[in-house]
Amino acid sequence: MRKYSAILGNLGNTCDRFCGSYKENPSSIEMLKQAGKLDGISGIELVGTWDIRPDNVQKMKTALDNLNFKCVSIIPDLFADKIWRFGSISAKDSEVRQKAMEYLRTMCGVAEKMDCDIINLWPGQDGYDYLFQGNYLDERNWLVENIAKLAGEFPHLKFALEYKPKEPRTHSYMARMADTLLVCLQTGMDNVGVTIDTGHAFMAGENVSESIILAKQAGNKLFHMHFNDNYKAWDDDMIAGSIHSLEYIEMLYWLDKYGYDGWLSMDQYPYREDAVGAISESINWLKAFDKIMVTNRDKITDTIAEGDAVKTSALMRSILIG
C-alpha cells in the first residue's frame, strides 16, 4: 500500500533568484489547511525553522493530529541562512560546524516530540564553487564524522541523506547516489541512509531505477523518496511524471522489487501554478503509473529477463498506447 506525503512549504510562496514572491506566503497552519485538500496524502514533511521550531512544536503536532497527518520527516534548514553560505557540517570554520551540529541536535529533539522517524538531511551549501576552493579531503571527512556523530547520538532516528549535483553550490559533496552511499557506509551507522529526489537524480544523469537497486545492494539504504520532474538540466521541480513517464513506471516497478515500504513524498515548486492542484496532479500521475505497472508487471518482468531491445521498445509502446 503506497503512502503519499508532501513537503508543507510547497504549498506556499516558492520564490527563485529572479522573483522573490510569485504568491502570497501563508502561515504554516494555513498551508496545513491547504494540505488537507490534497486527496490521498496522509503525511507531511516540515522544514526546520520555517515550519517547525522548539517554540511551536505542540501547536504543529496538534494541527497535524487534527488532520490525521503523520509527520513524515523534518528537513533541517542547512541551506537558506547566510551563516551556511560556505557550508554547514563540512564548513572550514569550526565554529560554523559546531553551530550546525547544535542546530541539528535541536531539530532531532523536535522530531522526537513530533513522533517523527526521519531527519531528511540536505546540506545544500556543503560543497564548493571554484577550483582550488574546496579542501576535498578535510571537508568530506568532517561531513562523514558529523553525520556519524549525530546518528550515534540519536540511534532511534533515521538520517536520510538527500543528494543533488549542484545548486546552490556549483558542486555538492553529496552529488549522486554513489557519492552518498559512500558517505553512508563511511559513517558505519545502520541508521544513515539515502533520500532519492527524482529530479536531483535526473539532473545527475542517473536512471533512478538503477539508483534504487544500488541502495538495496549497499544494505537497504533507501530511506525516503521525493518526487518531482524536470528536463534534466536543472532542478525545475515540476509535476511528477509530466516529463519522464516511462522512467516513473520502471521506477515504481523497481521500488516494489526493492521491497520499499516508505513514503512517496511530493517535493515540487509550483511557482505559478495552483499548489494544491499541482501537487494533486503528481499524486494522480503516480497512482496512474502504479496501475499501468501492476497491469503489465509480468510482461515487464519477462521483457527484462529476455533483454531484447526490440521487445523492450514494443513493451514501452504497448504501455503507452496499448
- pLDDT of res. 181: 98
How is residue 319 written as a grid cell? Answer: 504501455
Average confidence (pLDDT) over 152-156: 98
DSSP labels, 107-121: HHHHHHHTT--EEEE
Round to whole Å and give the CA distance between 235 and 228: 9
Nine-digit cell string for 20: 522573490
pLDDT tens column, 245-301: 999 999 999 999 999 999 999 999 999 999 999 999 999 999 999 999 999 999 999
Domains along the chain?
3-292 (3.20.20.150)
Q: Apex CA 283: angle with CA 202 and CA 271, to 5°?
A: 65
Q: What are phi and psi of 171, to 5 degrees?
A: -135, 125
pLDDT above 90: residue 17: no
At residue 25, the pLDDT reads 87
What does the alpha-carbon distance between residue 129 and residue 301 come to, in Å, rounded to a whole number? 43
Name the percent of the chain lying above pLDDT 90: 95
Q: In the prediction, which pLDDT does 173 show?
A: 98
- As a whole number, mean pLDDT of residues 24-30 equals 91
Statement: residue 160 has pLDDT above 90: yes
Q: State the pLDDT confidence band at 1, using cuts at 50, 70 and 90.
A: confident
Residue 271 sits at the vertex; the CA angle it makes with 265 and 277, to the nearest 5 degrees, is 55
